[in-house]
Amino acid sequence: MATDVRAQLRYCPISAQKVRLVIDLVRGKPAVEALDILKFVPKGAARPVRKLLASAVANAEENFGISRENLYIYRITADEAPTRKWRRFGARGRFRPILRRSSHVTVVLRERE
C-alpha cells in the first residue's frame, strides 16, 4: 500500500485559473524535477506552489522517512477559495465591482514502487 503525503495551501491570493496554468506543468512529474521546473517559471503563482511542494517533500522525509528521489506528484489541484468583493467608483455616480479571487491548492505525493 502506497503512502500518500498531503500538503495544502489555503487562501492563496491568486485566482485558481492562474494557479492551474502553473500546476499543469508539474502534474505527474518526480518531486525533485518539479521543484527545479518551478524555480524558473516566470509566473506569480510559481513561488507559492513551489513552497507548498517543498513543504510536502519535507513532510515526507521527516514524518514518513521517504527519500525525495522516490517521490512523484500523484495529484495536484487548485480549487476556488472565497472571493473578496471591492468597489471602485466610476463615472456618473456608478460603481464597478472588483473581484479579488483566491484559491486553495492541494498536493498529494506518492512513493514510486
What pLDDT is stored for residue 1 in this prediction? 58
Residue 17 CA to residue 74 CA, distance in Å, equals 20
Residue type (1 letter), 80: E
Residue 113 CA to residue 94 CA, distance in Å, equals 61
Instruction: For residues 69-90, give the mean pLDDT.
Output: 94
What pLDDT is stored for residue 100 in this prediction? 95
- pLDDT of residue 8 exceeding 90, the answer is yes
How does pLDDT run across 22-43, given as a tens digit for each residue? 999 999 999 999 999 999 999 9
- pLDDT of residue 113 exceeding 90, the answer is no
Supply the pTM of this predicted model. 0.89
Q: Which residues contact 66 (CB under 8 A, 6 or more apart)?
A: 3, 5, 60, 111
What pLDDT is stored for residue 90 in this prediction? 85
How does pLDDT run across 97-111, given as a tens digit for each residue? 999 999 999 999 999
CA dist list (Å): 66 to 27, 28, 62: 20, 18, 8
Q: How many CA atoms lie within 13 A of 56 on its CB side?
A: 31
All domains of the chain in start order, with CATH: 4-111 (3.90.470.10)
What pLDDT is stored for residue 37 in this prediction? 96
Closest by CA position to 72, among listed 38, 40, 113: 113
Instruction: For residues 56-84, give the mean pLDDT.
Output: 95
